[in-house]
Structure formats: structure tokens, C-alpha cells
Amino acid sequence: MRVVLGLTVSLTLYACGEESAEEGKPDCTTAANACAEGFECREVFAGEWLCRPTLDAGPRRPLPMDDDQTPGTDAGMGAPPSSDMGTATDMGSTTDDAGATVEGDVTISGRQILVGGTPLHMKGVNWNPVPRGGVHPQNIDFAGYVVQDGDLMAAAGINVVRTYEAITDTAVLDALYERGIYVITTVYAWGGSPVNHVDAAINATKDHPAVLMWAVGNEWNYNGLYYGMSFDDSRNRVREVIQRVKSLDPSRPVATVYGEMPSPDVIQSLPEVDVWGLNVYRGMTFGDLFTTWSQRAQSPMFLGEFGADAYNAHFNGQNNGAEDQAAQAEATTALAEELVANSTLTGGSTLGGCLFEFADEWWKDGAGSPNEHDVGGAAPGGGPHPDQVFNEEWWGLVEIDRTPREAYRAYSAVASPNAP
């Protein structure tokens, strides 16, 4: 049986930056709080309406065109980006069906990622939709959840998802792209696979504009690519795979996701890495993360994972836990706002990040059942607010049935910085 604490968190959500006259709650359905140009009124939580960017706003890459269409003329897609990117590094070019080349779809400019020439701040989530009773990776159901999850993500202003397995279904990518959501696709996670394991996923989706970048490994310095490999062997494999990925698709950046802050030697030993993702859990703040990264590297960096789970193992004493949505929401707000304050769009050192995670996964407690919401966790001596315990099945912004938690509302309320 689950115990849910009778706690609420006070969140003031504003419509287009203006407070509603009625009890401070937003209601963009009223004339007084009508959305400004470039925004639309959407229900982000039951009975609560906010102005959110229109789904075709912001940097977008052109969808593949039919023979009788011209790239860049589709409504809302914008004109093809200028080839004058200043100091940006062109990751390559793509060619449409008519043979016209569109230069610089995704580029790196210093610490920034540009999409169509516009800097992108990632307000992202990790997305691994495994239904109740299912396990990873056999039962991941991108197609079954993309509409419901995509709508919830778009309503919250989420613009990037990171996956732990590759999405190869272009219909799923279509649905995400239509909602203004890009994908960081992990194409290699398990060291038991050969290097050319990446070929099928990349060849199937490399022409799709929803793919922002490819990712190789997930905190492989901790897990040996989930194959028990040594650190050196894992690093060598990451290097080999990245080289393979770039040979297949030179048009996009390739990231690797590391556990915590890599040493200067590790960063320098992997010049093939275009973008670094860092999985960091330090409680209510990232501490010296951004300063340290600025001193160690010039490469773009994003938070591959961050956040807090919704179960407090010590709420009622050392061994008496309960759900604590208020604490999860508090950490979500603090960490997301810290990312905004240190965004490359405003002179900082981070691209943003992908909150862990969008929805609960009930398979993760090895001592429990994938049909039950278990509370097993690990306390390695540091970790998420408030208990420093990784309660693995309680990380979702939404529950497994997609009921939004307070953290969903908190993340929705954090505004991304505007591109200069």
C-alpha cells in the first residue's frame, strides 16, 4: 500500500508573465490574460491554463519535402538558416529530395548548440516509457505513449527528450517534432554490442529533423557500459562508437553522458566528443559544477540527468518513508532555475538539461515486482533531495498512469531563457 502525504506546495503560475486577478491563479482563457503573439492557451494541469509558446515557434529544422515542395516554405517552419554562422562549427549538411543543400542544420558555436542558426536552451526530460508490468528494454513503448506523453511535455514547455534506447519509428519522431520536441537519441549503451550496432538506428532516422544529436553511453564510468568493462576499455569503446556514428552522419553533434564531472585528462582524451552530458545529483544545488566546467572545457555541456524522486525514505523517521511530492517539486524548481541562470543563452556554461524523469518506472527495484510500486532504494552517501536516497521507482514528473505530480507543475512554471 502506498502512503501519500497530505502536503501541498504553493505554486504561482503566471500567464505570459502577468498574474491573474483571481487568487493569483492563471487563466489565459479570460480576456484580461489573453496570450501574447507567439503563444497559445493550453491546459497544463487539470483546470489550470497557461500561455505556452505555439508549437511551431522557436528554432525548427525543415521536415523532408516532397519533390514538388520547396524547403523552408512550409508554414511555421521558417526560412532555411543562413550559411553565415560566424564562428560556428558546421556539423555537416543535409540534402533534400530535390537536391538542394541546407547548410548548418545543427551547429556548435562555442558552448552553444544552434538549430537553424538559433541557440537552443534544453528544457528536457529523460523518457523511457515502460508500462506497468513491463521491463526495460523489452517493453519500452514509444509508439504507445508518444501522443499522451508528448501532449503533457509540450504543455509543460519541454523541448527535448533523451532516450536510453534508440527511437527508430519515424512516426514517433513525427509526433514529437509536431509538438516542438527534439530528441537526444542514445544509439549505444551496452558494451556487449558490436560497434556497428549503431548503423541500423542511425540509417533509419538520420534524415529526420527531430533528431538533435546522437548519444553514446550513459554514465559509463560507473557501469562499464553495463557490461563490466574496465574504465579504459569503456572509454576506448566510446571513442570507437563515436567515430562510427560520425562516419554515418556527420551532420549532427555526438554526445557522451558521464557520471558527475570528468577529469581534465578524461575530457582531453576524448576529442571526438562534441557535447558532454553530465548526470549529477547533489541535492538542492549543482554547487560548483558550472564554474568547474568553464575552467576545464570549452565544449558544450548539458545535464544528462538531474532532479529528485518523489519518495522520502526518512520523512517519518530514519526507517519510515512516504511519498513527498512537495520535496520533489521544491528540488525541481531550484535545480531548473539554476540551469536557466547558468544557460549559454545568457553567458553561462550549460545548454540546460534533461530532468530525470518523465514517468515512473515500476521495474527498477530488483527486489520488487514490475506490477507493484516498490520503495527500494540506494543511499550511496550523496544524492537527491531530501533524503539522499535513490528511490528508483518514484522519479516521474507523472505517475505511471500519467497523473501529474506537483513536480510537473513546478517544472512547467520554470520559464526558459530567450535567445538573444
Domain edges within the chain: 112-413
Band (96; pLDDT cuts 50, 70, 90) = very low
Query: What percentage of the chain exceeds 90 in pLDDT?
Result: 70
Q: Which of 359, 309, 312 is nearest to 329 (CA)?
A: 309
Each residue of 27-39: pLDDT tens digit?
667 776 776 655 5
Each residue of 267-286: pLDDT tens digit?
999 999 999 999 999 999 99
- Predicted local distance difference test score (pLDDT) of residue 316: 73
CA distance 219 to 226: 10
- Predicted local distance difference test score (pLDDT) of residue 72: 32
Q: Which residues does 274 contact at the CB level (< 8 Å), separation at least 6?
A: 91, 108, 213, 253, 254, 255, 299, 300
Band (393; pLDDT cuts 50, 70, 90) = very high
Residues of 170-185 as b/e, b for ≥16 C-beta within 10 angstroms?
A: eebbebbbebbbbbbb
Query: Of residues 77 and 110, which shows the higher confidence score?
Result: 110
- Predicted local distance difference test score (pLDDT) of residue 17: 33
Mean pLDDT of the chain: 83
β-pairing, 254-259 with 211-218? parallel
Each residue of 134-191: pLDDT tens digit?
999 999 999 999 999 999 999 999 999 999 999 999 999 999 999 999 999 999 999 9
Are 397 and 408 in contact by the 8 Å Cβ rule? The answer is: yes
Are 270 and 221 in contact by the 8 Å Cβ rule? The answer is: no
∠ CA 129-130-136, rounded to 5°: 115
What's the longest Cα–Cα distance across the chain?
68
**Mean pLDDT lowest for which of 100-109, 162-171, 182-191, 319-328?**
100-109
Range 112-413 has CATH code 3.20.20.80: yes
Band (51; pLDDT cuts 50, 70, 90) = low
Give backbone dihedrals phi and psi of 15, rounded to 5 degrees, phi first. Answer: -95, 115
For CA atoms 58, 59, 61, 67, the dihedral sign is positive
Instruction: Calculate mean pLDDT across residues 221-227.
Output: 97
Q: Which of 318, 295, 300 is nearest to 389 (CA)?
A: 318
- Predicted local distance difference test score (pLDDT) of residue 384: 95
Q: Which DSSP helix (H) or strand (E) runs through 107?
A: strand 106-109
Residue 316 cell numbers, joined: 517519518
At residue 217, the 3 state secondary structure works out as strand
Are 297 and 279 in contact by the 8 Å Cβ rule? The answer is: no
pTM of the model: 0.79
Task: Identify each DSSP E strand in 193-328 by its residue range.
Answer: 211-218, 254-259, 275-279, 301-305, 311-312, 322-323
Query: What percentage of the chain exceeds 70 in pLDDT?
Result: 75
